[in-house]
Structure 1
């Protein structure tokens, strides 16, 4: 019987003092910084480095730096054509390099999205074909994988490019040898709410996953629910997780300065773990 990953308290926040104070009182074992455009000025990078040191000193050295989602209102899509979006592409390159520099300096991790979903289709339409758009993204990921080495990981979406949940695509991604971040809800949405497809994908990619975003969903839209509030079968998901990987609860908060839904998700998953480890339980 494979070892079941014991849930850990993984929390997410920006570098704001108020959010940091709230998260650090829980002493998380994993911490993920959600960065924004404002973090990539000279002062912003200093502030982020200070926050990173604070978390390392007071809580954990297992830290992930999440690449910013937007730049001047546009999603930071790797598929964005340089000719049409020169400033966006410049920001994506520079911000990724900035995060990787911090990751090498402080021995932490950078998380980069292979794609998002909201503007991906609009940008794919600027290429002669989906195949060419896809080839551009994978060439870009190859470059970043080489640049970031063991300090970079790539996260899935539910767009037509860089998603998990279909066997052919999973095996294609696995063959490229990337270090992966697996957002459970994104895969579930891509699989149209199929727990069977979700667990199959988790098993296929298990060895290459280094970080999980644990989020519930009903599988119809990007709803980012607290664990136990959606349709994901966590008692089936938990045994499929790589026990060596880190994880956080990337759930929607009622108040960004209060992590209670993240913490409640951890306690919910601990109950599932305890139940799976009861003497008479069958995994």
Structure 2
């Protein structure tokens, strides 16, 4: 029952076992470039089976954040960075195929946070770069269907909180992951606007990253440690979605900050399951 105890881990078996000790209902794999090699994909498949065998049937694979030390941007320029473009496309396609095969989900970031100056070096305008993003997301949507979703960023290429982009997202009928901290940062810590944004996109949101923030930069705080007004968000979330708590951990082998966030949200929303 929503909200779920949703936990995140790498494909490292010891990390996975630590998360499974607490019986999460949702499990998200944070993948790296190593996980989308031939050997890595087989290991990921094995770990999906392992998590399923533990009784978890809601599983998400988070597309690799980086390639060769740089953010794996959907808008990567195929001419100046052919290796980056090849990695983006092949890794996305391979993960989508795996998701279809295992009946799981792939999460792809619509963007990360390339500086506007860098975006404009390779594109005539933000609008043209944004068009590249939407064209590629359309390809992934066509390939993945109900097995692929797209996450908001703090980049102007795919940032929720901007009504123009939200209208485009609705027009394209994308399945969405809404990261609360990213939305809050884009909106400069405005809780009213965050609530409006989440309400606007509610029907297309299939997964949440519940994360607190002070609304200034990417701080990934435990719930209750930032400035987001969680009580006001209960009425605008989609209860048919899944969720995880994507919190910075002091120790990757200890999910306590994620679990504490879940307890905080249960209290804020007065849920008892």
TM-score normalised by length of structure 1: 0.93
Deviation at 1:123, TM superposition (A): 3.2
Aligned equivalent of 1:266 = 262
Deviation at 1:120, TM superposition (A): 6.2
**Structure 1 residue 192 corresponds to structure 2 residue 178:** no
SS state at 2:122 partner: coil
Kindly tell me the number of residue pairs found equivalent between the two proteins: 272
130-139 or 67-76, which deviates more:
130-139
Deviation at 1:88, TM superposition (A): 0.6
Would the aligned equivalents of 2:183 and 2:194 in 1 still touch at CA under 8 Å?
A: yes
Deviation at 1:273, TM superposition (A): 1.5
Aligned equivalent of 1:51 = 47
Distance 2:239 2:117 in 1: 35
RMSD between aligned residues: 1.4
- Provide Cα deviations, 1:201-225, integer angstroms capped at 9, x if missing partner: 0000000000000000000000000
- Provide Cα deviations, 1:16-45, integer angstroms capped at 9, x if missing partner: 011011000011000000000111222111
Aligned equivalent of 2:73 = 77
Aligned equivalent of 1:130 = 126
Would the aligned equivalents of 1:62 and 1:108 in 2 still touch at CA under 8 Å?
A: yes
SS state at 1:202 partner: helix
Aligned equivalent of 1:31 = 27
SS state at 1:212 partner: strand
**Structure 1 residue 18 corresponds to structure 2 residue 17:** no
Structure 2 residue runs without a partner (length 5+): none
SS state at 1:55 partner: helix
- Provide Cα deviations, 1:65-118, integer angstroms capped at 9, x if missing partner: 000000111111011110011001101111111111110011000000000014
Aligned equivalent of 1:281 = none
Q: 1:204 aligns with which of 195, 200, 204?
A: 200
Q: Where do 1:1-283 residues align within 5 Å? A: 6-118=2-114, 121-274=117-270
Structure 1 residue runs without a partner (length 5+): 278-283
Deviation at 1:196, TM superposition (A): 0.5
Distance 2:94 2:169 in 1: 25
